[in-house]
Chains A and B, each alone.
Chain A
């Protein structure tokens, strides 16, 4: 697998040919899709809830400067510290400095896509600090040295047999004759191994699903409880998250908490929701002594005021990914980026540059499912179309497409020529057609390599239009 968004097309071909991926991708519909549909149905008036969520996130994005300043003041008032990072390199340096300051050697980590985005783990390792992922999915892929294939289910692509192989290879001190056939045996083994790591960690790093400005709190949702052991057992807790995660107050968070788990896993609420506000208070016997929040921009603020601004509302629920026919065919690794599926296609060209991630915006059937299920009503297809226009405008689109479109535009502006061309094309295609579809199209290596062309039926549109008038 090539971790390069520019290699998307080759990666997608390889993924389509990979039989290992099929059972996992089949679970999108039966698990995530069905779960969400049931949860939405049970809630009742889900549309009003979506509208409320959208309004809350719109308020936050259009007041981002004010809310971030309020958040910083509230964290300071609780005895925590806020750090600001313009880009990934700055975020890595800040986190390393905090860890070195407290003499940390091992760090447990709760699930955080932003630390994937800034490639934190290899950097910490290179600087003599051991990061230990504790979310089960993240732990599995860390042992396998793979990136996440899904934003909320990092080991989505793996079977339980593959996980068992990984554990046999990694947990060398355990009985090699033990049985790891059942999923629960795998879960229990990870629980036992990771509990020792929690107890020994010098610091813990978590992400945040939301930040609440008024209270200076970071909020995470988990089912495992790993994020809490990450925060509560070590002396130092560092929250690493994007600047766009902030909302006005905890009442806004309460509304978004109704949308997030339903859209993600179909749960009315995740097993644990943790509101983490500063270091331990007076009289408390546990919780961290030091509390830091690292706010990462890394291209986000640039999206404000652009056609792509709405993407900043995203609450990373993964519903768009779970309902995407492209993701459903190729999985997550092919994207070569931290965010995959429709959210990746709408976000990556903005944060990584159109030259790097234009393929993501092109990988869409425009079926519109993503926008239909998005809990905060982000017009994902419209934003993808915007990136396509930018790609075309910057002359970055492939030559075959720009030349083809130029030729088409030339003909379309000349009605007589267009009519002639269309009727010839229709006749030629009819002659080539066999069994309802045309398999021999001259430009076979591009678009038509994996698609058949339907045989044109009857006369051309223009001929029919004239006949009816």
Chain B
């Protein structure tokens, strides 16, 4: 017998009464406005969250974030990204994957109010590794893309799950040395989120 059949047989030979599929769980509702809740929760997780009135304010905010971190005026934006046509005066745009000291600008199709989380389904123009390669990730998020909980993101994924779905709730960190949080492990040392209201 193959290992597969033997394992399944071993389970079936012993399986007791099957319990029913549980009813759907509903998390306690998040208070207040979802965008505010998202911004508040993510800000508490070492992220720099800024609210902008419209897309026209994005270039100045990106330049400001780079200056604030003493970084060169240069960002990586994936080819085929919805942001590919973004015009950034005085900031150089590169198309290849960012290195470990570079900044990347990404578009978050969803965000979750409950946990202060950006949700990135992978796809054409949305390479998953870009959330982990750079030292700084600048995420652009439309306020209308903020949903209440992860279940809403799953329901909104039109074609089902992509090959990778990344949920990001702050910059990379580790508590592995003496159980004390240090920011900036393997992924970005900083996460900035520009929430655009319209």
Which A residues are within 8 Å of any B CB, using their own CB?
A: 24, 27, 31-32, 43-45, 48-49, 52, 55-56, 58-59, 62-65, 68-69, 72, 78, 84-86, 90, 134-137, 140, 153-156, 158-160, 163, 183-184, 186-188, 190-192, 194-195, 198, 215, 217, 223-226, 228-229, 231-233, 243, 248, 250-251, 254-255, 257-258, 265, 268-287, 295, 297, 301-302, 304-306, 309
Given A59-B20, A187-B185, A286-B129 in contact, is the A255-B25 Cβ separation under 8 Å? yes
| Chain A CB within 8 A of B68 CB | no
Closest to B188 in A: A225
Most buried by A among B80, B151, B161: B161
| Chain A CB within 8 A of B169 CB | yes
Question: Quick check: B19 and A224 within 8 Å, CB to CB?
Answer: no
Taken residue by residue from 84 to 117, chain B's Cβ proximity to chain A (1 for < 8 Å, 0 otherwise) reads as: 0000000000000100100000000000001111
Closest to A163 in B: B177
A282 to B22, CA, bound (A): 36
A136 partner, pick from B12, B164, B174, B179, beta carbons under 8 A: B174
Residues of B within 8 A of A64 (CB): 11, 15
Question: Quick check: B187 and A305 within 8 Å, CB to CB?
Answer: no
CB of A328, distance to nearest CB on chain B (Å): 14
CB of B151, distance to nearest CB on chain A (Å): 5
Given A62-B17, A233-B129 in contact, is the A271-B164 Cβ separation under 8 Å? no
Question: Quick check: B186 and A274 within 8 Å, CB to CB?
Answer: no
23 residue pairs from A and B, CB less than 8 Å apart: A24-B178, A32-B179, A62-B19, A68-B7, A86-B6, A183-B182, A186-B177, A187-B177, A191-B185, A223-B174, A225-B187, A226-B185, A229-B186, A254-B150, A271-B170, A271-B171, A271-B173, A272-B166, A272-B187, A273-B166, A282-B124, A304-B10, A304-B16
A191 to B188, CA, bound (A): 11
A27 to B178, CA, bound (A): 8
Given A90-B3, A276-B164, A301-B7 in contact, is the A134-B16 Cβ separation under 8 Å? no
Question: Quick check: A301 and B11 within 8 Å, CB to CB?
Answer: yes
Question: Quick check: B132 and A229 within 8 Å, CB to CB?
Answer: yes
| Chain B interface, >50% SS class | loop
Most buried by A among B4, B127, B162, B179: B179
Given A45-B28, A69-B8 in contact, is the A52-B123 Cβ separation under 8 Å? no
Closest to B173 in A: A223
Residues of A within 8 A of B128 (CB): 228, 232, 286-287
Question: Quick check: B163 and A254 within 8 Å, CB to CB?
Answer: no
B163 partner, pick from A44, A251, A281, A295, beta carbons under 8 A: A281
Question: Quick check: A274 and B167 within 8 Å, CB to CB?
Answer: yes
Question: Quick check: A250 and B154 within 8 Å, CB to CB?
Answer: yes
Given A136-B177, A225-B186, A277-B163, 4 new contacts (CB under 8 A): A44-B28, A183-B178, A287-B129, A301-B10
Given A62-B17, A84-B2, A284-B122 in contact, is the A250-B177 Cβ separation under 8 Å? no
A188 to B182, CA, bound (A): 10
Residues of B within 8 A of A187 (CB): 174, 177, 182, 184-185
Question: Quick check: A228 and B129 within 8 Å, CB to CB?
Answer: yes
B185 partner, pick from A45, A69, A224, A231, beta carbons under 8 A: A224
How many residues in B have their beta carbons less than 8 Å from beta carbons of A? Answer: 73
Residues of B within 8 A of A183 (CB): 177-178, 180, 182
Given A163-B177, A283-B124 in contact, is the A188-B184 Cβ separation under 8 Å? yes
Question: Quick check: A65 and B186 within 8 Å, CB to CB?
Answer: no
Residues of B within 8 A of A56 (CB): 22
Most buried by A among B25, B123, B131, B186: B186
Given A183-B177, A277-B164, A280-B163 in contact, is the A62-B182 Cβ separation under 8 Å? no
Interface pairs A-B: 7 shortest CB-CB: A225-B187, A283-B124, A55-B22, A305-B14, A224-B185, A137-B176, A275-B165
Question: Quick check: B186 and A268 within 8 Å, CB to CB?
Answer: no
Question: Quick check: A302 and B10 within 8 Å, CB to CB?
Answer: yes
A278 partner, pick from B163, B174, B180, beta carbons under 8 A: B163
A434 to B151, CA, bound (A): 64
Residues of A within 8 A of B130 (CB): 286
A90 to B166, CA, bound (A): 32
CB of B172, distance to nearest CB on chain A (Å): 5
A141 to B51, CA, bound (A): 43
A159 to B176, CA, bound (A): 10
Residues of B within 8 A of A62 (CB): 15-19
Question: Quick check: A281 and B179 within 8 Å, CB to CB?
Answer: no
A250 to B156, CA, bound (A): 13
CB of B139, distance to nearest CB on chain A (Å): 14
CB of B37, distance to nearest CB on chain A (Å): 12
Most buried by B among A64, A160, A194: A64
